[in-house]
């Protein structure tokens, strides 16, 4: 079964730190094997990530991500079933240009939104020039 999950978290390190490069490297190595795609957004002190793929793969990856000391205060949306991927073409996307904190934080503060709706917003952000 194909599913999506989403979370927003606070980063332990400043952007462009080696920690970000390591995360991207790990994702490039692991995500294709687990059939995971998605996008990772990085603001000045926040991360936001859509992760999609087989349920089992998402569960495995989220267990590691929840324990990762490079971020904290993870606000996680419940995994939902999806019929198609919002980010099929990336094993992992990374916002080259920094997206505003407020833009990411809003996902956590606003009325709870469906992951599919958030994915749509984030896809537009990527397509507007954030894609690496």
CA atoms within 13 A on the CB side of 121: 16
Residues in the chain: 132
Quote the longest CA-to-CA distance of the chain. Answer: 36
- Residue pair 115/6 in contact by the 8 Å Cβ criterion: yes
Q: Which is nearer to ligand FMN, 68 or 113 (CB)?
A: 68
Q: Which two tokens stand for residue 118?
A: 């958030």
| Per-residue binder mask for ligand FMN (CB under 6 A), 32-71, x = binder | --------x------x-x-----------x--xx--x-xx
Which range of residues in 24-32, 82-90, 93-101, 121-129 is near ligand FMN by CB under 6 A? 24-32
Q: Which two tokens stand for residue 86?
A: 């919002």
Q: Which is nearer to ligand FMN, 88 or 111 (CB)?
A: 88
Q: What angle do CA 35, 105, 61 make, to 5 degrees?
A: 25
Interface with ligand FMN (CB under 6 A), residue total 17
Judged by CB under 6 A, which of 3, 4, 5, 23 binds ligand FMN? 23
Q: How far apart are CA 88 and CA 52, in angstroms?
A: 9
Is residue 30 within the footprint of ligand FMN (CB under 6 A)?
yes
Which residues bind to ligand FMN, rule: CB under 6 A?
A: 9, 23, 26-27, 29-31, 40, 47, 49, 61, 64-65, 68, 70-71, 92
């Amino acid at each position: 079964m194909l599913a999506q999950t989403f979370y927003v978290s606070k980063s332990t390190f400043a952007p462009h730190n080696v920690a970000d490069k390591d995360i991207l490297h790990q994702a490039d190595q692991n995500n294709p094997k687990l059939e995971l795609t998605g996008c990772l957004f990085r603001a000045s002190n926040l991360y936001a990530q859509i992760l999609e793929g087989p349920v089992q793969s998402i569960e495995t990856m989220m267990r590691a991500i929840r324990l990762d000391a490079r971020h904290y205060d993870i606000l996680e949306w419940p995994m939902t079933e999806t019929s198609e991927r919002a980010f099929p073409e990336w094993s992992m996307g990374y916002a080259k240009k920094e997206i505003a904190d407020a833009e990411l934080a809003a996902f956590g503060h606003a009325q709870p939104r469906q992951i599919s709706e958030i994915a749509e917003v984030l896809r537009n952000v990527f397509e507007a020039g954030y894609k690496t």
